[in-house]
Amino acid sequence: MTADALKLEQEVSSIRDRYARRGDDMLEKGVFLQHRLATFLEKQSAMVRTLTRNLKVPIGEARILGIFERTR
């Protein structure tokens, strides 16, 4: 392996390591949690609107079975 190829390989490895640490730090600090919460609330709101429009009884009186897909 040439010196340039070795230097490039070391630099790529260094970049990968930095991104891996950055990803872990971001998850630990909960940077993505706000985004996930906003998405969850948008889905819940849409579901409530849909149920309210389509149920034959008031939503407070309805019996609803919730089945949720577990995502990563």
Q: Where are the domains of the chain?
A: 3-61
What mean pLDDT is reported for the chain? 79
Identify the pLDDT of residue 46.
93
Q: Which carries the bigger pLDDT value, residue 28 or residue 12?
A: 12
Mean pLDDT, residues 5-13: 87
Q: Which two tokens stand for residue 60?
A: 């407070």
**pLDDT of 17-46, one tens digit each?**
877 776 655 555 555 577 777 888 898 899
Q: pTM for the full model?
A: 0.44
Given pLDDT bands bounded at 50, 70 and 90, which one contains residue 49?
very high
